[in-house]
Structure 1
Amino acid sequence: MLKIKNLRCSVQRAVHTRQLAYEGYGNPPEAIQLKSINIGDKPAADQVFVKWIAAPINPADLNQIQGVYPVKPTLPAVGGNEGFGKVISVGSNVKSVKEGDHVIPNKSGLGTWRELGLHSETDVFLIDNELPLEYAAVFQVNPPTAYRMLKDFIHLKKGDTVVQNGANSAVGKQVIQICRILGIKSVNVVRNRDNLEDLVKELKDLGADDVITQEELYGRKKKFPGVKLALNCVGGRSSLFLASLLDHGGCMVTYGGMSKQPVDCPTGPLIFKDISLRGFWMSRWYDIQKTPEKRQEMYKELAEWMKSGEMKKQAFVNNRLEDHARAIEDAQNKHEKKQLFLLD
């Protein structure tokens, strides 16, 4: 419940709210503190008043609190780069959203681990109000990352083949599903593990055509002709063998470096097959968009797939703000399910 305190001004009121903030960089479970503050409930002319509903804990959030992420909000800062909320009221000059709309951050660094926020109109972006919470809370990062990598580097058509490592990651699972929807074959590389059969079944249920282990990739026993696009989030030896699968004119896109090793490239295919290496960061894509149309088009297509059930809901561990220390620690050490703050 919101606690309202009347101020001397009869128009503006102070609203009591909570947020997870950090005053300096450090170990996230220790650096993050639950703060209670009062904010005005009347947005200025170019502001929107947002009730945040749900926000995940992503690796980028933890890196940001540690001070090693490229996007560094001014300190003290509120944690969280992703999530969605409902617009409670808008200022007189606001045109892009209205009361009742659902919104997500326009860019990284907004701070979504909070119950309420007064934000500039340009800090938020409209999404489909009909998206269920499980989709809306994680709509900004992983699905668009998969979408853009499949759309922006190679002109893929039905029957083409994409190969990726880290296929059981959040982005990897989105790639599998979008490939299935678009009629593109996916070859998916994962690390060997005790529950490999269960993981293979999970990925094939999402639409994976082939699932192989790193060892099978290195052994080169399986052949995958006509690979147009490789998606790399691991680096090191894995990237070397992944790029080796590319056909003439193919492209390997790197969007992560989980091994903390440099990206390796095979000399032969680089020369004789004219393969190319590119990098991708979703935050930069958002930064360089001059108009909203391309983003709106992407969001419309993703939302349609989600609402129709063609893209499956992600499983979460739900947390309240007061559970932040355990939730953040689990996000650092347990990766089976994403941690989610329920803020409503």
Structure 2
Amino acid sequence: MVPSPPAANKLHVCLLAVLIIISLALMDAYLLEQNPGPRWIGVCVAVLAGDACFLIVLRYVAVWAGSEVQTARRGYAMVLWFFYTFILEIKVYFVYQNYKSQDLGVVAEVVETGVSRFALTLLLSLCMPTIFIMLAAIDHLDYLQPYRKREEIRSRLFWVVLDLLDVVDVQANLWELQREGLPTWVEGLTFFYCYILLLVLPCVSLSEISMQGVNIVPHKMMLYPVLSLATINVITILIRGGNLLIYGDIRVSGIMMGKNVMAIILKSCSLVQYRKQSTSAADPEDKVQKSSLGDPHISKAQSMVLPRVVIQDLTTLPEEEEEDGDA
């Protein structure tokens, strides 16, 4: 059993739990609003039962995550993020399906539904990055006393937050008002692709923080930039470009496309620079090893000469002693 967090971390744990509960409660409000009439009671019972089970698990996982806030470990924080995102995205999926099945025949209903959809996007874009930053808790790490080390990890987390907003923006295009609907298989593939990214990539970033000690090792924090470069910066450009060219979706975010282009350039340059530094750091080590070993022919010659000299000394000394005895 993990001990309870110190008094300094209790406020952090309570604030994190409150934000998680509020975000899930707002998603429950969306579900209840979309199911009026006789279905409201059944949906309410199912939602309350699920929230009760979630609160039981949250009570322990939040305490465990709070016990490691001031250390480099982020194992329970990864579990909490995975569990929270799993529950949140399931509720988002049902909300998205209800929006998809609604009949927008009246103009007033169209305006009201559009505002609620934008509010849903705003809710996700605020709660998910905030909870991730609180789980990372860079300001609570006691071993990061130098300002440079703290800012280096904070700059890496800034890219994670931008990637979260990018994925939420791609996912939000599915339920926000569009001129023409996308095919069903395209919508399902896009939603669950974003779902997997939201589950896995923040956990990868938290695991990189877990591997850091007093000295920050750069090669232990290169997994997330490589994965985000391939799965977010490249793929999301293709998704937005396909929606724009094939389906004529004019609501594609040009700002996020520009962000992805800049991220591809910067991350590619940083990866090339890191590879040059790693190879340049490996060359002096090879030279030192070669200089310490020396020429193999010389070493063999020395190994053959030295035993011969020793044998000559051992054999000549006794002969000199015998000649002196005869004289």
Q: TM-score, normalised by structure 1?
A: 0.18
Q: TM-score, normalised by structure 2?
A: 0.19
Which one has a larger percent helix, Structure 1 or Structure 2?
A: 2
Larger radius of gyration between Structure 1 and Structure 2: 2
